[in-house]
Chain A
Amino acid sequence: MLRTDHLRKAYGSTVAIDDLSVEIPSGRVGLVGANGAGKTTLFRLFLGLARPTAGFVEVGGRGVAEDPIGIRARIGYMPEHDCLPLDQSAADVVATLGELAGLPARAARQRASDMLDLVGLDEARFRAVGTYSTGMRQRTKLAQALVADPEVVLLDEPTSGLDPSGRDEMLDLVARLGADEMSVVMSTHVLADVQRACDHVVMLDAGRLVVAGGTEDLLDTTGTILVEVDGPVEALVAALTARGLACAVSGSRVEVTAPDADAGLDAIRDEVSELGLPLNTLATRLTSLDEVFVRRTPQ
């Protein structure tokens, strides 16, 4: 759906995107990275609102530089920052932005009504946006991104500023949208949000690609076994090292690198039993994307 090839974007001496080559498939995709990783810049490049310093950006098989206007007609965009006119109602804002995306006036008002229903703003839509809470503004921003029924929607930090229940609802909505024949790319620095709502993840760090792949595939990182025991782990580490397994210790957790996962599991089970240590965790997969990110990011 979206593709970059040796993409570079620099603002003066500041490099926002550095030699990024990645393919973002259809579906629900999380674009993750710390603040300043280049997520918003990448969105702007996909929209044709910024020009690459070098490299190539493609949306739906079409170069953005060749037809930025045509590309924008196919993309919905929800910026991270406050961007709504405060003296207008959500109904007017969303309908107007629908018209700007090419919908006829009557259809834009109908779609605005539908989308505001979808995001849960059916009762408040006729109030001025300036009277809205942060959560309501986020919903309005999401509704305007969806109003023209885009092929792909870019959501920049959609859970930013939301309380836990609002965040839950937003993530549920993102997950449902991705199941409705629409591609959703959600940027965030909260990896748990991606793990929950997305089936594909692209990790950026300082404008460079850290890793990209299916969320489940990344969590099923092969060759790594997590062991958590009560009590001192030094004896366990020594025993496993003697068996030729590399160990990394973090508190009561030991991360064991085993070329053969099954043999590794057997060895750990035997040594834990031998040492009489209470076993809390024994898993062949990483438990969170945070761990994947930390492992893959150059220190």
Chain B
Amino acid sequence: MSDPATTPMDAPAGSGRVYDRGYRRYDGPRGGRGAAVRALFLGSIRRALGLRRSWKQKVLPWLLLAVAAAPAAVFVGVGYVTRNTPAADFEFITYREYVGVSTALLLFVAVTAPDLICPERRQRVLPLIFSRPLTGRDYVLAKAGAVFAVVFAFGFLPQVLLFVGQMLVSDAALSYLRENAEVLWQAPLSVAVLAAYLALLGTAVASLASRRMVAAAAFLGLILVSSSISAVLLGGSAQGAGALVNVMGIPLFVRDLVFLGHIGNDTPLGGVDGGGALALACYLGITGACVVILLARYRWAER
């Protein structure tokens, strides 16, 4: 091993200067494939939230996430202030309604998924990543998993806020907890349904583009176009099977299955025969297609 003394070499300084500090071996612990996936997952979460990045890159994700949580805070605040003199028509938003109430999570995915996926493809970082003990499947799992984790956290946090707030505002907190115990599994499950859908759709669309702007526009365009087509298919009627064409409606129909056991009558799919099964099939079909696209896009590493 070289002398560890710090001695500059004779070569003239250019863009940098090599110092002969010697190469030191590493004999500490090493993780395997699981550690690599975990590192990629955590690194992607940090990037999604702008951590270890400039303040400019923190503003947008945190603003969108704050907007997603704001309605819950407002409802709890109003409920607390008026707890002794409730307005006659004041009602808390339901846990079911809160899932998907804000487009902020949608915009967050539109911004974040391309930021996690596109630069690594465009700047050709993937050969460096796949020269590590990782497979294409691991990469997809870490990236889509990171988007899922952040969307789930910021979709579920307001639900917790709503629940705790209503418990405290109610006359009998324990009774409220007992009467609404089913929400404790319904809310996280339905938020997970939405988060998985957005994460897979967002990352799959992003994997098809190399520019972030193009990927974000394609994701939002898909949602806008599908909702427009759905509206045309529904015609003047408020409900019908055409509602299934609306890409963003599908996870909300599955949410209804979680909360109600059937499609809500206040939704465009309400009253459609077999609507629940159709919605579930569409959900599984779309998420499955996204997984296939993602695995195909990152299969090149194993050819």
Q: Report which A residues bind B (CB closer than 8 A).
A: 47, 49-51, 68-70, 72-73, 75-77, 79, 81-87, 92, 96-97, 99-105, 107, 111, 114, 117-124, 132-133, 135-136, 139, 144, 146, 148-149, 163, 165-166, 168-169, 172-173, 176-177, 179-182
- Give the residue name and chain of the A residue nearest to B16 (CB): A120
Q: A163-B14, A180-B1 are in contact. Are A96 and B39 (CB under 8 A)?
A: yes
> Known contacts A73-B30, A83-B123; is A102 also within 8 Å of B36 by CB?
yes
Given the complex, which residues of B lie within 8 Å of A50, measured CB to CB? 303
Query: Which of the listed residues B29, B128, B131 has the most CB atoms from chain A within 10 Å of its own CB?
Result: B131
Contact of A73 among B15, B25, B133 (CB under 8 A): B133
Q: Which residues of B contact A85 (CB under 8 A)?
A: 119-120, 123, 125
| Among A102, A169, A180, contact of B9 (Cβ-Cβ < 8 Å) | A169
Find chain B residues with CB under 8 A from A166 CB: 14-15
A218 smallest CB distance to B (angstroms): 28
| Chain B interface size range | 35 or more
A73-B30, A83-B124 given; A169·B40 CB < 8 A? no
B154-190 interface bits toward A, Cβ cutoff 8 Å, 1 = contact, 0 = none:
0000000000000000000000000000000000000
Q: How many A-B residue pairs have CB under 8 A?
A: 156
CB <8 Å contact, B36 and A83: no
What's the nearest-Cβ distance from chain B to residue A14, in Å?
14
B236 at the binding interface (Cβ < 8 Å): no
Give the shortest distance, in Å, between B185 (CB) and chain A (any CB): 34
Determine if B127 is an interface residue (Cβ-Cβ < 8 Å). Answer: yes
25 CB-based A-B contacts, threshold 8 Å: A69-B33, A69-B134, A69-B135, A72-B131, A79-B128, A81-B127, A83-B124, A83-B125, A96-B39, A97-B128, A102-B31, A103-B31, A104-B35, A105-B39, A114-B21, A118-B21, A118-B22, A121-B16, A122-B19, A133-B15, A165-B14, A169-B11, A172-B18, A176-B20, A182-B23
A104 contacts B29, C-beta separation under 8 Å: yes
> Are A107 and B303 in contact (CB-based, < 8 A)?
no
Partner pick for A101 among B28, B133, B302, CB 8 A cutoff: B133
Chain B residues near A70: list those with CB within 8 A.
133
Is A84 within 8 A of B123, CB to CB? yes
Q: Which of A51, A75, A172 contacts B131 (CB 8 A)?
A: A75
Knowing A83-B128, A104-B29, say if A165 contacts B12 (CB, 8 Å): yes
B133 near A102 (CB under 8 angstroms)? yes
On chain A, the residues within 8 Å of B18 by CB distance are 118-120, 169, 172-173
Q: Is the CB of A101 within 8 A of B132?
A: yes
Instruction: Tell me whether A149 and B26 are in contact in the complex, defined as CB-CB below 8 angstroms, given that A122-B19, A135-B14 are known contacts.
Output: yes
| Given known contacts A114-B24, A168-B11, A173-B18, A84 and B125 CB-to-CB distance under 8 angstroms | yes
- Answer yes or no: B261 CB below 8 A from chain A CBs: no
3 residue pairs, one from A and one from B, having the closest CB atoms: A99-B39, A149-B26, A77-B131
Q: Which residues of A contact B40 (CB under 8 A)?
A: 100
- How far is A101 from B31 in the complex, measured between Cα atoms in Å? 8
A216 to B131, alpha carbons, bound, how many Å? 32
